[in-house]
Structure 1
Amino acid sequence: MRYQQRDRGTESHLVAETDGTYYDLTAAKPELEAFRDLARAASVADVPIDDLAGDVIDDAPTLDGNSAPDERGLPAVPEEVWAAGVTYEISEQARQAESDTPDMYVDVYDAERPEVFLKATPSRTVGPGEDVGVRADSHWNVPEPELGVVLYRGDVIGYTVGNDVSSRDIEGENPLYLPQAKVYDRCCAIGPCIVSTGDIPDPHDLTMSMSITRDGEEVYADETTTAEMVRTCEELAEYYTRHNAVPELAVLLTGTSIVPDDDFDLAEGDVVSITVEGIGTLTNGVRTV
C-alpha cells in the first residue's frame, strides 16, 4: 500500500491507497492520525503495516485520488533523516571532481564501511509541493534524487523519494565542511508517499529520474536505476543503527547517481521533480535561505 498525509479542513488525515482507491484511515480510526501511529500499532501487534491498514479499510470512507497539491503534507515526520554518500560510481566521480582531496572518496566507495551522516531534523525537512532551500553563501547548489528507506525502531518498513539538496562548493572546499554543505534550512524533501515493503519486492531494481525546470523550460533531465547502487538498503540501515540509539521513526536516504553537470547551479524559482518507480513523483520549488 501507499500512505500519504492529506489536509482535510483544519486536520491532517492518514490516507492509504491500494489498487487506485484512496481510504481515509483517520476517519475510520481517529487514533491513526499519522503514519507513525500506524507503524507503532503494527509494531505492538507484531503484524505488517499493510495488514493493520487492511483491517481498517473496510470501515474507511474513500477519497478523490486527484487531491490538490497543497492538500498533501509530509507522508511521515521522521525524527531524523540520515543519508549515505558515495554509493554510486558517478557520485564518487562527482565528489572527486569537486574536492581538493579526491582520493578520500575512492576510499569510501571501495571501503567496507559506508559513509552515513545526519542529514536533517523535522524542522529542516519539507514535503511535496514545498520549497527546498539553497544556501545564499554557496554558488554551486544541486539536488540529489535518492531512494529513501523508512525505518521504525531501526527496521525497514517502507520506501519514499528523497531530495538531498547539497552545496557542492562548500563540501569541495574542505570535506570537514560536509555538515554545512548538507544540513541547513529546507535542505531535505521527502514524499509524496510511503510505500510499504510488501509493494516494493526489490528496492535495488527501480528506475529513478529527475527533471529541473526554470521559467517553464526544462533545463536538466536524466534517469538511472537503483541497480547501480554498490551498497544494499539493508547494509546501509545496519550501519546507521550500529551502536546508535535510533529514534522511533527515521528515513535513510541511500545516495544518488544522477549528478547535474559541473556548470549547473540551482536557482530560486526552479522546480525539481524526482520520480522513483513504484513510489511516485516528488516535486518541490526552490528558494534561497
Structure 2
Amino acid sequence: MKLLRYGPAGDEKPGILDAEGAIRDLSGVIPDITGAVLSPESLAKIAAVDIASLPKVPGSPRIGAPVTGMKNLVCIGLNYADHAAETGAPIPKEPIVFLKSLNALQGPNDDVVIPRGSVKTDWEVELAVIIGTRAKYVSEENALEHVAGYAVGNDVSEREWQAERGGTWDKGKGFDTFGPLGPWLVTKDEVPDPQNLAMFCDVDGVRQQDGSTRTMIFGVKQLVAYVSQCITLNPGDVIFTGTPPGVGLGKKPTPVFLKAGQVMKLGIAGLGEQQQTLVASS
C-alpha cells in the first residue's frame, strides 16, 4: 500500500493511492496516519478495504508528510561508503546518530527555506524508515518486524552550522523545513529488499546524486537494532538512513551550495519522487 496525507498544512486527511495513481480518501476508515495505525494488525485492516469504494480525491491537492505525531526523527550520518569517501571522512565503526527537529518535517513538495545568512545549504536524498511497532533493545534478526514501511526523505543540511559553529550536527540539520518526507509511505510488503533501491537527486534539472542503498555501510536491519539500544523507537518514528555521494559539500574542486530560486527533485525507486523550491528566509 501507498499511504499518504493530503490537504492544507496542519489540516491533512489520510489517503491511499489506488492502482491508477489516484488518491482515495481514507478518512472514513482511519482518522489520520499516525503511529497508532501503523501496527501490522491495523495495516491489515486497511489493506482489506475495497479501495475502489473509497471517495476519489479531486484535483491535485497538496501532499503532506505521510505520517504525523512521531516522537523521534532520527538521522544517520556518513552511512554510505562512497559518500564518506567523497567527504574525506573515515568509514564509521558504528552508526553516527543525530536528531532532526520535528519542526524540520514537512510535505514532500513544500518550499525549503534557506536560513538567514546561510551560504552552505545542501541537499541529501535518503531512504526513510517508518516504525510500526515499539522497538527497544531489538535484535538485527527481528528488526524489520518493527518497520511499517519506507519513504523518500531529503535531509537538507546547513554545512556551516553543522560543522563550523561548534558542537553537534543537530543544529545544521534541524532548521524549519529541512526534513521533506514523502510523497507516501510504502508498506514494507512492497519493498522486498530495502538494500537494493536506486536513488537520485537533481538540482535545477542537473543530476547531482545517482546512488543506491546497496552502498550503505549499515543496513536498515542494523540501524533499527542499533538505534533501539539508545533511543526507544515508537510507532510513527522515522529514521533517515544516510545519503549516497553527490552532495554539494563533496563537489570538487569547489563545494556547491543551494540558493533561493533553485529547485531540488529527488526520488527512490518504488517510493516516489518529491520536489522543493528553495526560498529565502523572511
TM-score (norm 1): 0.81
Q: Secondary structure at the match of 1:76?
A: coil
Q: Which residue of 1 aligns with 2:229?
A: 242
1:226 aligns with 2:213: yes
Q: Which residue of 1 aligns with 2:27?
A: 26
Distance in 2 separating the partners of 1:89 and 1:148: 18
C-alpha contact 1:126 1:132 (8 A) present in aligned 2: no
C-alpha contact 1:5 1:74 (8 A) present in aligned 2: yes
Q: How far did residue 33 of structure 1 move?
A: 2.0
Q: What letter is aligned with 2:247?
A: V
Structure 2 counterpart of 1:71, from 59, 62, 70: 62
Q: How far did residue 110 of structure 1 move?
A: 4.0
RMSD over aligned Cα, in angstroms?
A: 2.4
1:117 aligns with 2:110: no
Percent identity between the two aligned chains: 23
1:201 aligns with 2:192: yes
Distance in 1 separating the partners of 2:176 and 2:11: 25
1:52 aligns with 2:53: no
Q: Which residue of 1 aligns with 2:143?
A: none
Q: Which residue of 1 aligns with 2:274?
A: 282
Q: Secondary structure at the match of 1:90?
A: helix
- Number of residue pairs the alignment of both structures matches: 262
Q: 1:67 to 1:150 in 2, by over 3 A?
A: farther
Alignment of 1:119-158 (within 5 A): 119-121=100-102, 123-152=103-132, 153-154=134-135, 155-158=146-149
Distance in 2 separating the partners of 1:134 and 1:73: 20
C-alpha contact 2:120 2:257 (8 A) present in aligned 1: yes
Distance in 2 separating the partners of 1:287 and 1:24: 31
Q: Which residue of 2 aligns with 1:14?
A: 14
Q: Secondary structure at the match of 1:192?
A: coil
Q: 1:127 to 1:255 in 2, by over 3 A?
A: same
Distance in 2 separating the partners of 1:169 and 1:188: 18
C-alpha contact 1:95 1:172 (8 A) present in aligned 2: no
Distance in 2 separating the partners of 1:127 and 1:52: 26
Q: What letter is aligned with 1:61?
A: L
Distance in 1 separating the partners of 2:122 and 2:163: 13
Structure 1 counterpart of 2:76, from 77, 84, 87: 84
Distance in 1 separating the partners of 2:127 and 2:106: 16
Q: How far did residue 178 of structure 1 move?
A: 1.6
Q: Deviations over 1:189-245 (max 9, x none)?
A: 1010000000000011011011111xxxx3444311111111111111112221323
Q: How far did residue 138 of structure 1 move?
A: 2.9
Runs (5+) with no aligned partner, structure 1 = 97-104
Q: How far did residue 283 of structure 1 move?
A: 1.1
Q: What letter is aligned with 1:126?
A: Q
C-alpha contact 1:210 1:223 (8 A) present in aligned 2: yes
As a proportion of its length, which structure holds more strand? 1
Distance in 1 separating the partners of 2:130 and 2:38: 14
Structure 1 counterpart of 2:169, from 151, 164, 178: 178
As a proportion of its length, which structure holds more helix? 1
Structure 2 counterpart of 1:211, from 180, 202, 214: 202
Runs (5+) with no aligned partner, structure 2 = 136-145
Distance in 1 separating the partners of 2:54 and 2:176: 37
Distance in 2 separating the partners of 1:11 and 1:168: 32
Q: Secondary structure at the match of 2:181?
A: strand
